[in-house]
Structure 1
């Protein structure tokens, strides 16, 4: 697909599609949004007019059969991902999938297997690792600036989720672990170079929303090299402001993300080697999506391996399944 305009069809006129996907993709020189599909055709029509999209559908299979497309961008609700992704791949399309990618590891494996059989690119959108500060931190860790990491702590505590948005998650039976925890876990494991997880222990609470899904959770992952990674997530906390952070502790230094800070030991003294913040201009969340879409298109054009695809995404969902198993049983889960 080198030097070719990539024709994209979008499924699901979600908030992510309207706020992130379409504003970014429509500005990319090598992309054309050819079609949009949503079960609510009126909503799809309004968005099509806003972003100058020519073809509008309310039936996903009709869009696949009718529109001339290279890529399907799936932004629909998670319960539709397996059927839509499978159909698109079997029709010869490459696929992007907004998080959460799947409902469980079985679904994730089914989609990955079909992509491999069809020899098509399939990417789960996990944007936190495409933040500019995340990329800078990853480079520093890969150059062994803080030594071997033995402890990582990460969290995403949100205060001001809109109730309307929460109701959508509740309808899909998605709590804070799937909505925020998956992203934080993906970022942390990527920073650690995707080590094998040995054990999982998790607890959850629904003390604030009093719903049938969790609104707060604490998770501990232990790797086969005994590195420990703890994750705390909440989406209706009585905080003054939202908090997203990662902290790593190594044998000769420490690092923190958001804001980025790096301390390393030199000549028996701790030295601040944090890169200049000037390289992190703009909204980090918006920039992460720009970087992610560029990565997908570059790999598509050059036939390279994508991040957040294949075995990596299957392993993420095996861990997610273990997290929910630990919560249900109250026991530590050993991963095979």
Structure 2
């Protein structure tokens, strides 16, 4: 098939750190244009990598007939706006998470993809980690039995990204660590569980560290900090999700809290086995020949999964693979996140049906 021409909208930290190299390395794609409100910053990337065209207005980029794929890495507020415009213009779209800042916008994205017949995929890089692939296969083959309960989270001691900038400005980001980090670990847990339908959530949100400038996480380097800027999002969320099949999931996400160290985790419990995944360390808990056993699979790590996710998207566009992620799953995710924020505001459980 012909080489797919890619145009990127938004060239900040996530694009430079997680997307750029994948597009440049893929034999089926050619990154031909960049667009950013900070045109000078985009021009520097273009000059470094021999990318021909740079734009300040994404509409000019999308209007090009020769562009096949639009990569969206803008602040969260604009994910749906740019994605929908690109889909309506007949482009395939690969968007950084979160899918959108509201369920209504996520639904519009899914509808635009369906109407256009083009591929819409949102970053779910953790599904492509080797340990996640192992756990998905392990669960699908029935080794866990009925997967009925779990816990997941990403908790930081001090790791507020871009304090005072768009990350901590609710209008632009949609929220704090729940919408920033929650997408990753909730998605991983729900995917391994078999994508059960969420029906209700409850949650609490806290903002306790808006005044601190301490940082001990590499992730606090993301985003552009602004002295005296806005901080109107949470720095910690805890919550509970109920699913249609009776399964439940506890969650906790923080940018800052007084804990020992930063940790990403997913724990799931099934009738035949359970597991604990903490950062990239996996332990299985099961029974073998009437004996309770702890098993530590020796899995070769394959990085953070961003490049593999983009490669999979290209394979789907080329018709060689079926999508591991669907826009409908994205709608469910944003419904969960939005309802947890609403539950925290109202102090009660929120039904999703």
Q: What's the TM-score bracket when you normalise by the shorter of the two chains? A: over 0.9
Aligned position for 1:121: 119
Q: TM-score, normalised by structure 1?
A: 0.92
Indicate whether 1:311 and 2:328 are aligned. yes
Picking from 126, 135, 138, the partner of 2:133 is 135
Checking the alignment, whether the CA contact within 8 Å between 2:201 and 2:239 is kept in structure 1 is: yes
Checking the alignment, whether the CA contact within 8 Å between 2:72 and 2:79 is kept in structure 1 is: yes
- Structure 1: how far apart are the matches of 2:308 and 2:76? 23
Q: Judging by fraction of residues, say which structure has more helix.
A: 1
Picking from 300, 323, 332, the partner of 2:340 is 323
- Structure 2: how far apart are the matches of 1:53 and 1:217? 41
Checking the alignment, whether the CA contact within 8 Å between 2:75 and 2:166 is kept in structure 1 is: no
Indicate whether 1:51 and 2:49 are aligned. yes
**Deviation per residue, 1:89-141 (Å, 9 max, x gap):** 11110001101120111001111111111111101112122211111111111
Number of residue pairs aligned between Structure 1 and Structure 2: 329
Aligned position for 1:270: 292
Picking from 279, 293, 299, the partner of 2:316 is 299
Shift of 1:293: 0.9
Aligned position for 1:180: 181
**Deviation per residue, 1:241-294 (Å, 9 max, x gap):** 3200111122222212231121221221123444323x32x4x31xx1121012
Question: CA 1:333–1:164 in 2, change beyond 3 Å: closer, same or farther?
Answer: closer
Bigger shift: 158-167 or 61-70?
A: 158-167
Question: CA 1:221–1:155 in 2, change beyond 3 Å: closer, same or farther?
Answer: same
- Structure 2: how far apart are the matches of 1:331 and 1:314? 22
Checking the alignment, whether the CA contact within 8 Å between 1:197 and 1:222 is kept in structure 2 is: yes
- Structure 1: how far apart are the matches of 2:120 and 2:22? 19
Q: TM-score, normalised by structure 2?
A: 0.88
List aligned pairs for 1:37-48, cutoff 5 A: 37-48=35-46
- Structure 2: how far apart are the matches of 1:67 and 1:215? 43
CA RMSD in angstroms comes to: 1.8
Gaps of 5+ in 2: 212-230
- Structure 1: how far apart are the matches of 2:177 and 2:64? 37
